[in-house]
Amino acid sequence: MGIRTMLTMAVCAATALTGGVAVAAPGGAHTGTAGGTAGTTVREDFNGDGYQDVVVAASNAPVGGQPYAGYITVAYGSAQGLSTAHTTTIDQSTPGVPGDVGEGHSFGFRMIPADLDHDGLTDLALYTSEPVPEMNNFGSVIILWGRTGGLSGQGAVRIPGPATNDIGNNVIAGDFNGDGDADLMMAHGWGDGDLEQRSVLYGPFSRAGEPAREQRVTMFTSDNYMSNPAVGDFNGDGIDDLCTFFSYEEHAEGGSLWLGTSQGLSTTSTRLPSGSSPTVGDFDNDGKDDLAVRVVPNGIYEDFPTDPGTVKIYYGSASGPSTTRTRVITQDTAGVPGVGEKGDQFGARLGAGDVDGDGYDDLAVGVPFEALGSKAGAGAVVLLKGGPGGLSGTGAKSFHQDTAGVPGVAEAGDHFGGSVRLLDVNKDGKADLTAGAPDENLEAIADGGAVWSLRGTSTGLTTTGSLAFNPVDLGTLVKQARFGSNVAGDNGAGLYSY
């Protein structure tokens, strides 16, 4: 299986890294990802049955003969966890979904779960990299509305945008004014003189996709590219804050913290260090969200492919993510399985959630280029435990396809851990791991991809009862689908490789 180059910054203007809405597990334990909603219980429950659901993208899949058109599959939670028998697949040929299947649309490349219309059901906002002639712009955000029967194309809408350009880049959800309604931050059209702006679209959204109001915020210079936004309540005031990160060509250009207020997102920011693949969780259970990022090696994105990988945690404080109370973790940290080696890319994907139900969020760390013996790039996921002092290597465990009880067999270039997400899919108060291997071979078909589900227990993740599923199991398109390249609410699709 060949390793493709997927520099996410260069896919297209549409391929900003992801965000999502944090969820609260039963019993009130806060769990987070690249996004969060302060002071409310937001579940990724698209059909309202009380179980959290997982949406898996195959954004590279050729659909209707169109390469890189993409599709998504919703796997619904239940008392038994996920099941291939309870899934729905949606693409732009699904009745009701706006637009048409097209080359390069990458349907599902970025997926944001949030209750946008405040009806108690989670909706799904999808960025698609498509030209929209009737809107005279490029890119769109499509909303699939949550329904008791599950997600479908019924009533789906595009978020309206101005007839300019650039709709949907950097889209992420949060509650930036603390009113209990989910808001979206995203590119929402630009023209001469406002290249540096992003919009906050405040909820609730109408079923036509219209926000209650819009706020334009100047966030960066026209020389920079924004990627990797993250949302969480970093200062513990009950209102979501926004972290944004920037680059110029291959150079990391630092980040910014934008505090949420009762009037909305602040229009001024404070400086943050650079970071990639951000995720958010309360790892020390102090009521303030913490920010975990992958460190950009030498400040150069082009050094990612040879990077052993470093994760850095900025703990929440009264002023936001602290730059003095931090923690650095690598595979050479005491207790962390494995050894930091060239190109492992420890931290290429990150996901937060309370796996053992002790009230402290844990961190799933994707290591998609980890070698297992002679199997280069087979990949693994390392689970770091949260506790009173935050994250550490103590009690960390590694999981991969050669771990006893995990379905399948590790192969070179599978890239297990190419996506990670921690969600409680069986409603037992403990987050379960969803992990993707987007380059898994399926029946001699390269790059079909697959996803695994491992259950959380009071002692951590277990392989007992673990499940794997792929496009063959689902009866969907297989060839070059890269199924599992990302899941809803994680921090983006694409891997940095040779």
Q: Which pair of tokens denotes residue 433? A: 């791991």
Report which residue type is found at 323: T
Place of tokens 């199997």: 375
Nearest residue to 129 via CA among 152, 109, 111, 145? 109
Q: Is 192 exposed, middle or buried (0-12, 13-18, 19+ CB in 10 A)?
A: exposed
Q: Which pair of tokens denotes residue 42? A: 């937001």
Give pLDDT, residue 476. Answer: 87
DSSP 3-state of 341: coil
3-class SS shares of the chain: helix, strand, coil, % to 5: 5, 35, 60
E-strand stretches of 410-487: 419-423, 432-437, 450-457, 460-469, 486-487
Give pLDDT, residue 184. Answer: 98
Asked whether residue 19 carries a pLDDT value surpassing 60, the answer given is no
pLDDT category, 32, cuts 50, 70, 90? very low
Between 327 and 227, the more confident residue is: 327
Give per-residue pLDDT as tens, 245-256.
999 988 999 999
Give per-residue pLDDT as tens, 261-297.
999 999 999 999 999 999 999 999 999 999 999 999 9
Q: What is the DSSP string of 197-216?
A: EEEEEESPPPTTS--SEEEE
Give pLDDT, residue 227. Answer: 83
Between β-strands 123-132 and 110-114, what pairing exists: parallel, antiparallel or unpaired? antiparallel
Q: Is 46 exposed, middle or buried (0-12, 13-18, 19+ CB in 10 A)?
A: buried
Asked whether residue 37 carries a pLDDT value surpassing 60, the answer given is no
Report which residue type is found at 197: Q
| The 3-state secondary structure of 1-61, one letter per residue | CCCCCCCHHHCCCCCCCCCCCCEECCCCCEECCCCCCCCCCCCCCCCCCCCCCEEEEECCC
Between β-strands 87-90 and 110-114, what pairing exists: parallel, antiparallel or unpaired? unpaired
Q: Which pair of tokens denotes residue 236? A: 């513990």
pLDDT category, 446, cuts 50, 70, 90? low
Which of 376-380, 416-420, 470-474, 477-481 is predicted least confidently? 477-481
Q: Which pair of tokens denotes residue 49? A: 């049955």
Mean pLDDT of 185-194: 72
With vertex at residue 396, the alpha carbon angle to CA 391 and CA 400, rounded to the nearest 5 degrees, is 130
Whole-number Å distance between alpha carbons of 61 and 315: 39
Q: What is the pTM of this model?
A: 0.91
Give per-residue pLDDT as tens, 386-443.
999 999 999 999 999 999 999 999 999 999 999 999 999 999 999 999 999 999 986 6
Whole-number Å distance between alpha carbons of 497 and 343: 8
Q: Note whether 405 and 466 are within 8 A (CB).
A: yes
Give per-residue pLDDT as tens, 135-174.
555 788 999 999 999 999 999 999 998 766 678 889 999 9
Which DSSP state fits 433?
E
Asked whether residue 31 carries a pLDDT value surpassing 60, the answer given is no
Nearest residue to 425 via CA among 385, 406, 453? 453
Between 135 and 99, the more confident residue is: 99
Give pLDDT, residue 135. Answer: 56
The strand pairing partners of 225, in sequence order, are: 247
